[in-house]
Structure 1
Amino acid sequence: LQRILSCIERHEPTLRAPFRAALGNVRAITRGPKSGKALRELGTKSDIAAEVPTTEGVIAVLRSLDLRGRCVAVQLYGTEPNRPLIDFLGTAGAEVAIVAPYVYADAADDQAVRTLLAQLGAGGIDAIAFTSSAQVERLIAVASEEAARAALRATSV
C-alpha cells in the first residue's frame, strides 16, 4: 500500500486523502502480514486476514462469511487466473469482478480496468483485495484518465 500511495503522489496527489478515507469504508481482505501492516500505517485495518498467506489461507477465512449476493473484486497476480479462489467465491454465491491491472498488460486489458473502476464508482463492489503493489500501480495508471479518476474518487477502495 505504501507503493500505492507513492504512485498516487506521483500521478494524482489529490487522490491521496480520498483513497485513505475510502480504505476505511470497505471490507479489506489481506493475504499476508505486509498488507496488514501497510493498512495499519494508513490508519485503517484489515477486516479479514488469512492466517496462512496463501490462496488456501484466504479461502479458509472466507469460508465463515456469507458471500451470497456480495460483489468481491479479485485482482490477479499477473494474468494467470486464481481458479481456486475464483471458483470458491462463485460457489459461495459471490459475484466476482476480476481484473489483472499490471503494468505489462497490453492496452486491450485497459478496458477490464476501466470496467472495474466504473463498478467501483457506481458502488457495485463491496470489497476489493489488493495482493501486490503492481496491481494498484496499474489501476492508478489507468485511473489517470479523467473519467476513471472521477469514478475512483466516488468509490470506497
Structure 2
Amino acid sequence: MNMGTSRFVCILIATLGLLSGCTGKRPFLLVQTCLGSEQSAVMFLSTMKEIAHSEKMSFVDRSKETQADLVRLKKDPGYRLINIGVEREDGVGLSAGNLGLSQYEVAIGFSEGSNPAQAHQFADLVVETLKRKWDIHVVPSDRGALPMKGCAGE
C-alpha cells in the first residue's frame, strides 16, 4: 500500500469511526435518509445545528477538512461531503455523513457514551425531528449503511 492509499484508508477509517463515537463501540442506532437536493442538504445541516444548540451540545463540522484531504489524495467523490457530529462531554451524541454513499444520502449513527438512557432519549428526539422533513430508515444492526435505490441526487 503506498503512502497516498494508506492516508486515504486512515481518513476513511477515521470518518467511519465517527459513527461509533469516542468509545470505539458500534452505534446503538444507525439510520439513513435521502435528502434529495442541495437545498435539503443545507436544511439538514441547519436542523442538526439547531438540535445541538437546543440540547446544549457541541456541533462539529469536519466536512471541508475531509473533502480537502480526499482531494489531496485524489480520492474526491465528486460531490460535497457531509461529515458532522453532535456531541456531549459524556459521549452521548451522533455522527452523520455521506462518505461512501451518494451525494444526498446521509447515515446517522448514535453513540451511548456513559449515559445510555439519555442517549436513547436523544436518538428518539433526533429521529422524530428528522422524520418531520425526511423519510428515515433504520439500518439493520448486522450491516452498515448502503446506497439507497433512487437517491443518486440531482
When the two structures are superposed, what TM-score results if normalisation uses the length of structure 2? 0.30
More strand, by proportion: 2
More helix, by proportion: 1
Higher RCO (C-alpha under 8 Å, 6+ residues apart): 2
